[in-house]
Amino acid sequence: MTIDFLERFPELKPLMRRGSEFLGCPLPIVGGAMTWVSDAGLVAATSEAGGFGVLACGAMTPDLLRAEIQNTRTKTHKPFGVNLILMHPDLDALIRVCVEEKVSHVFLAGGIAGKGKIEMLHGGGAKVLAFAPALILAKRLVRDGVDALLIEGSEAGGHVGPVSTGVLAQEILPEIQDVPVFVAGGIGRGRMMRTYLEMGASGIQLGTLLVCATESRAHPKFKEAFMKANARDAVLSPQFDPRFPVIPVRAIANAGMRAFLEKQQEVVALFDQGILDQKAAQLEIEHFWTGALRRAVMDGDIENGSLMAGQSVGFVRDIKSVHQIFTDFLEDAFV
């Protein structure tokens, strides 16, 4: 049905061709890798609907990642990818899993990979995509050999950089043309996708809009919180002490967001008392979000858990299939 839609509107094809060919799917719409949300079910549904699903490895062990890749393949024969966090302590083992399982596309997030990691993935036949929060880093990643870039603005959910999607697009799209560039962050309507495609993007990434998909395993209370929220409710987490810089996290404001500030105060006090060293204290702060997100997504604790969401949460008003989300999205852009 999605492909039929593309046939009805041929003006789509020139704008989408590069991204579609790179990903190997009809729609160059990447499903954002959301920890605890982007599992085999949602990833397969995204690919089956014509987009490109991406498994969120998050803190998975290599064995768990392998099992999730294999589980996804029982649900779809269409292409999908895996997102790896570069600070994961078992990163090399996770890369080996992706190579052994012949994952076609690997997304590297949370830092700069370096040529070695990229070459490991290339050696296994994978295409490598990396996040670029600034033009200077985008150019470095291209020199290091990545096959495509994602630029994600501060409107996105979860861990974000300081610059808005619109500014990043204006900064990077005219300058980077050697590799495909996908745009993410705050995209809530199809006409915004069309704007970025016309600016030179090869495609986009959607995360927040897919949380309330029928195929998403997120707890009903988690989905309900999304459907009730407005854009202004998705705010950035506070930083307590400049000695312990935290990557801002965008989430729907709740008691859990306030608890993060209290956690920082507690950890800084332990550091000042000499109980924790700098590295251990920093890890204590960063680890807060892993447990808090799971409590919200899986257990439905929407008061004390983390409701990571982009500002496009204001466009989420009901539960529908990924296929319907994509169809509505395209109709908004091209009808």
* Angle (deg, nearest 10), helices 12-23 and 190-199: 80
The distance from CA 209 to its chain's CA centroid, rounded to whole angstroms, is: 12
Separation of alpha carbons 236 and 253, rounded Å: 9
**What percentage of the chain exceeds 70 in pLDDT?**
97
| 11 within a domain of the structure (yes/no) | yes
For residues 197 and 239, membership in a common domain is answered with no
Q: Which of 152, 137, 145 is nearest to 106 (CA)?
A: 145
For residues 161 and 54, membership in a common domain is answered with yes
| 225 within a domain of the structure (yes/no) | no
What are 2-33's pLDDT values in tens digits? Answer: 556 667 667 778 999 999 999 999 999 999 99
SS3 191: helix
What are 48-63's pLDDT values in tens digits? Answer: 999 999 999 998 999 9
For residues 190 and 304, membership in a common domain is answered with no
SS3 324: helix
Give the domain range for residue 189: 2-217+318-334
Query: How many distinct structural domains can be found in the chain?
Result: 2
For residues 150 and 243, membership in a common domain is answered with no
> What residues contact residue 63 under an 8 Å CB cut-off, 6+ apart?
none
| 313 within a domain of the structure (yes/no) | no
* Angle (deg, nearest 10), helices 322-334 and 40-48: 40
For residues 304 and 193, membership in a common domain is answered with no
Q: Which of 90, 128, 94 is nearest to 112 (CA)?
A: 128
Task: Write the CA distances from 180 to 23, 27, 135, 202, integer angstroms.
Answer: 10, 14, 14, 5
Q: How many CA atoms lie within 13 A of 87 on its CB side?
A: 5
What are 288-298's pLDDT values in tens digits? Answer: 887 899 999 99
For residues 67 and 155, membership in a common domain is answered with yes
Q: Which of 312, 317, 320, 21 is nearest to 155 (CA)?
A: 312
Amino acid at 91: L
| 223 within a domain of the structure (yes/no) | no
Indicate which CATH number applies to the domain containing 207: 3.20.20.70
* Angle (deg, nearest 10), helices 322-334 and 190-199: 60
| 90 within a domain of the structure (yes/no) | yes
| 224 within a domain of the structure (yes/no) | no
For residues 144 and 268, membership in a common domain is answered with no
Amino acid at 329: F
For residues 121 and 35, membership in a common domain is answered with yes
For residues 157 and 289, membership in a common domain is answered with no
For residues 117 and 266, membership in a common domain is answered with no
Separation of alpha carbons 252 and 240, rounded Å: 19
> What residues contact residue 272 under an 8 Å CB cut-off, 6+ apart?
none
For residues 185 and 248, membership in a common domain is answered with no
Q: What is the pLDDT along the chain (335 residues), one digit of tens a residue?
A: 455 666 766 777 899 999 999 999 999 999 999 999 999 999 999 999 999 999 999 989 999 999 999 999 999 999 999 999 998 989 999 999 999 999 999 999 988 888 999 999 999 999 999 999 999 999 999 999 999 999 999 999 998 989 999 999 999 999 999 999 999 999 999 999 999 999 999 999 999 999 999 999 999 999 999 999 999 999 998 888 888 887 889 999 999 988 888 999 999 999 999 999 988 888 888 788 878 999 999 999 999 999 999 999 999 999 999 999 999 999 898 77
For residues 115 and 156, membership in a common domain is answered with yes
Alpha helices in 90-189 (DSSP H): 91-100, 115-123, 135-144, 165-172
Task: Write the CA distances from 164 to 37, 71, 151, 173, integer angstroms.
Answer: 24, 36, 10, 14
